[in-house]
Structure 1
Amino acid sequence: MSMKIFVLLLVVTEVCGFVNLVNPQSFKRWVTMGAKPQYPNWEAIKAVDGNTNQSYEFDSCAITDIDVNCNTSIWWMVLLESKFNIAYLEIYFRSDTFSRSTGFSIYTYDTENSYPLRDPKRLVYHHNPLFGCPAPIQNVTINYVTQGLLFTNERPQGYTSNCPGDNLMCTAVELCEIKVMGCEQSRFSPGCSRSCPSKCKNQHCDAFNGSCKHGCSNPNALTVDCTENIECEYGMYIQNKTCVQCGHCKDGVACNKSTGRCDNGCENNLTGNFCINNEEMASDLKFYVPIVSLAVFLAIAVGVVIYQRRQISVTPLQSAPAESTNQQKQKTNTPHYINLVFTEEGHEYRSLNIVE
């Protein structure tokens, strides 16, 4: 029955985009949240009832009580009927309090007994509270084949936020609708009109472009697009779809054709996974590099000192102001004396010359 409903939705949405995988026609297995609703009509299932009205007055939102129960951690989750290739989410927050959803995170999970919060690989999105408020209608890219989705929010000790209106102490579920947009697990593209390539692992692919982002069905495939027709000569390996020379592996054995690593070790004093680093050369460099660095530093320091001293010694002499004509005439017949100092063989001689 569910597959018939999916095919019907596929036909209807092929032109306009991905399929909403949670809808009133029972694509969800169960929906729940981590606290009681503030009012009975604001239960968890209201976030996937197909009603995108963002006002609490219409009883179309899932809302927990933030005023009576100050929760520092809260969650809402949905488990779909089976795994789907989920492209993105459309999250409709309660319009008058969407700022209180700042800092939320989205995780994926696959069974009712999963604990996604314990596995950081399951985190697909985190809203940074330092970047301000979320949008009242927020799109979140998932691009992952999964069965369950978890919305969670926390207010840990020391929590800070740059979103005006955010509650720094407590958090709550205030979700009016979550649209889970995607395709059946082996299809992709808007409208879900295309099948994932069989060369992709489990025939799971990128929801948007169909690439084998989850791996290849053939474990010997050597490239990211799972092609198998690239062959390299002995002693070479594939890197970025081209053949690259191996390092110096032990006993002349070729490196791993997929990774380029020397799985059995390196020749002589070579080190590293790819056997291209010389141990002796590295040891010499460790000895000489500090010496060369010190020499360069001292040379620079001496150069700076010499430069500064030259700048001081080259300070221009200031010329005396020109004397008036009368002063020059008065001094014409007045002798004056200039002391000259001569130094020769360490003896100092002084003479007195009269200048007329």
Structure 2
Amino acid sequence: MATFLGIWNLLLLGVIHCYDNICERSSCKATLSSVSKNLSADKVIDGNTEQDYNSCSHTVVNGAPEAWVMVDLRKEYKLQNVVIYYRNERDYTWRPYRFRQYSLQVSSDTLSWNECYKDNTPDSRIPSSIQNITCARTARYIRIITNYDAPEDDQFSERGAVLEICEIQIFGCDSNHYGSDCSMECSVNCKRQTCDNAKGSCTYGCNSGFYSEKCEKRCSTCLSACNRQSGECEGPCPNGMYGNHCNITCSRNCENGCSKIDGLCNSGCIDGKFGIDCLQTCGGGCSSRCDQADGNCSCKTGWLGQNCNGKDKIVLGLNIDCLVENTIRSLC
């Protein structure tokens, strides 16, 4: 019966994953919170999946409130699943009761940990000694940690958290590859060229100048980054351009560019033009720039009107600077 269960577990694990066991092809390093006798952390990554006492790592039974085992993959990988083999004597004289209520966590720096799984097996039940846990995260460190004090240890006058991990298999891809066989490469436009296993979506966002889930679309003429989903520019537009994507040309009559939102010439018009878009022409008799709002200006000699677009007339043979309601204002 035990042989059948062992074969079934192997078949089941083979069906669930087809990723590489990372520690079989790289120099992983394992550490324990404490070591009992010679049952060191190296046993969790030695490739031996036997579950007897001598094949497993073991923390000290000393009343410690917490026990953990940590595997360092040496660099970040894109994880898919983690398989844990816990001590489970074949003659059932030792059951994995200390395996209750553990937590599987991952990290990229050991400063902050992200929980992939938390076991909630009650005291009345025994958890499975082989567990395959989906953990689709990008990480360098994997930690199994517990503060569970098993009531079965009371008969031995033992207290505290204990772990007896025999093997940890960590399956996934290099951080710059994805897919069920790790054959597809993440876009070079992904930050750190890292993407998720399922679709190749960039994990940390896009390099500057690109957008979309896989960062394969190029931002328009944005001065800075563009929105990851829409491609709209998140900062100002280059001088002379406007619009959400900064791809519309401002009126050439604007001075110092135009508003990113609506293209209006908020900084004024070039000499000789007026209006909100600077498309109207100032009067030919303006002695200086005309007002942007209404085109009013000061007139040169010989010109008249608020916009200085009319010339003086000869009345009674005399030159007149201007006429106001047919009344002579000045004579030359």
TM-score, normalised by the number of residues in structure 1: 0.49
Change (3 A) 1:166 1:207: farther
1:101 to 2:91 alignment: no
Q: Which residue of 1 aligns with 2:130?
A: 137
Secondary structure of 2:98's aligned partner:
helix
Residue deviations 1:91-142 (CA, integer Å, cap 9, x gap):
111123323111111222345xx33xxx35x333222345965422111222
Other structure's SS at 2:78 match: strand
Count matched residues. 209
Kindly tell me: are residues 242 and 86 of structure 1, through their superposed partners in 2, closer, same or farther at Cα, counting changes over 3 Å? closer
The structure carrying a bigger helix percent of its residues is 1
The yes-or-no answer on 1:83 pairing with 2:80 is no
| Cα deviations by residue, 1:276-324 (Å, 9 ceiling, x for unpaired) | xxxxxxxxxxxxxxxxxxxxxxxxxxxxxxxxxxxxxxxxxxxxxxxxx
Q: Deviations over 1:30-79 (max 9, x none)?
A: 32101122x31x111101100111122xx21111243xx12221111121
User: Which residue pairs with 1:152 in the alignment?
Assistant: 145
Q: What does residue range 1-356 of structure 1 map to in structure 2 within 5 Å?
A: 17-23=18-24, 27-28=27-28, 30-37=29-36, 39-40=37-38, 42-56=39-53, 59-66=54-61, 69-95=62-88, 96-111=94-109, 114-115=110-111, 119=112, 122-129=114-121, 133-155=126-148, 170-218=160-208, 221=211, 223-226=212-215, 228=217
Deviations 1:174-208 (A, max 9, x none): 11100011122211223222212233322111123
The whole-number CA distance in structure 1 between the counterparts of 2:189 and 2:126 is 42
Name the CA distance, whole Å, in 2 between partners of 1:185 and 1:166: 42
What residue identity is the alignment partner of 2:27? F
SS of residue matched to 2:50: coil
Contact 1:86-1:180 within 8 A present in 2 as well: yes
The answer to whether the 8 A contact 2:100-2:122 is kept is no
Distance in structure 1 (CA, Å) of the matches to 2:194 and 2:146: 30
Report the Cα offset of residue 218 of structure 1. Answer: 3.9
* SS of residue in 1 equivalent to 2:192: helix
Calculate the TM-score normalised by the size of structure 2: 0.52
Task: Give the counterpart letter for 1:101 in structure 2.
Answer: F
Are residues 239 and 187 of structure 1, via their aligned partners in 2, closer, same or farther at CA, if it must alter by over 3 Å? closer
Q: CA RMSD in A?
A: 3.9
Equivalent residue for 1:268? none
Partner SS state of residue 143, structure 1: coil
How far apart are the structure 1 equivalents of 2:174 and 2:228?
A: 33
| 1:172 Cα offset (Å) | 0.9
Aligned-partner Cα distance in 2 for 1:208–1:83: 17
Q: Deviations over 1:256-280 (max 9, x none)?
A: 99xxxxxxxxxxxxxxxxxxxxxxx
Partners of 2:19 and 2:173 within 8 A in 1: yes
User: Structure 1's 165 and 218: CA in aligned 2 closer, same or farther, altered over 3 A?
Assistant: farther
Consecutive unaligned residues of structure 2, counting only runs of 5 or more, are: 1-13, 89-93, 221-225, 233-241, 247-332
Runs of 4+ in 1 over 3 A off after TM superposition: 129-134, 164-169, 223-231, 237-243, 253-257
SS at match of 1:182: strand
